[in-house]
Amino acid sequence: MISGAHVILYSQDAQADRVFIRDVLGFPGVDAGGGWLVFTLPSAEVAVHPADWPPRHELYLMCDDLDAQLGEFRAKGVEITRPVSEQRWGRLTAVRLPSGAELPLYEPLHPLAHDV
């Protein structure tokens, strides 16, 4: 039986991004040894989309109130990298990780798998 999922973010500055996940996002975690932090994620879901390009994987964080979450991020000095766009499936934006990578964030308008 599958008991969970492990998501990996590759980073040009893993330590700074780990601190961001711990201190800014507030995700609890454990030290898996030697300072290698592994974080607990909120409820998650997986979707499979058709693609006409080589397969890739993406991670989006979801929130219940995008405007409120962006306000919290701005108060912590987090750079919002994309204006909020209205999609048929949700309201989408992204934030900048310390490494320079973008982390997409959205407020879903679709039914949530973890609600079933």
pLDDT reading at 116 higher than 80: no
pLDDT at res. 34: 87
pLDDT at res. 54: 94
Q: What is the pTM of this model?
A: 0.88
Domains of the chain: 14-115 (3.10.180.10)
Q: Edge-to-edge strands of the sheet including 90-96?
A: 61-62, 102-108, 90-96, 80-87
What confidence tens digit (pLDDT) does each residue in 99-113 have? Answer: 999 999 999 999 888
* DSSP H stretches of helix in 56-108: 66-75
Report the SS3 class of residue 16: helix
| Parallel/antiparallel/unpaired status of strands 37-39 and 61-62 | unpaired
How many percent of the chain have pLDDT more than 90?
Answer: 80
Question: What is the token pair recorded at 93?
Answer: 């934006």
Per-residue pLDDT, averaged over 52-62, amounts to 92
* DSSP H stretches of helix in 8-101: 14-19, 66-75
Beta-bridge mates of residue 46: none
pLDDT at res. 25: 96
What confidence tens digit (pLDDT) does each residue in 69-101 have? Answer: 999 999 999 999 999 999 999 999 999 999 999
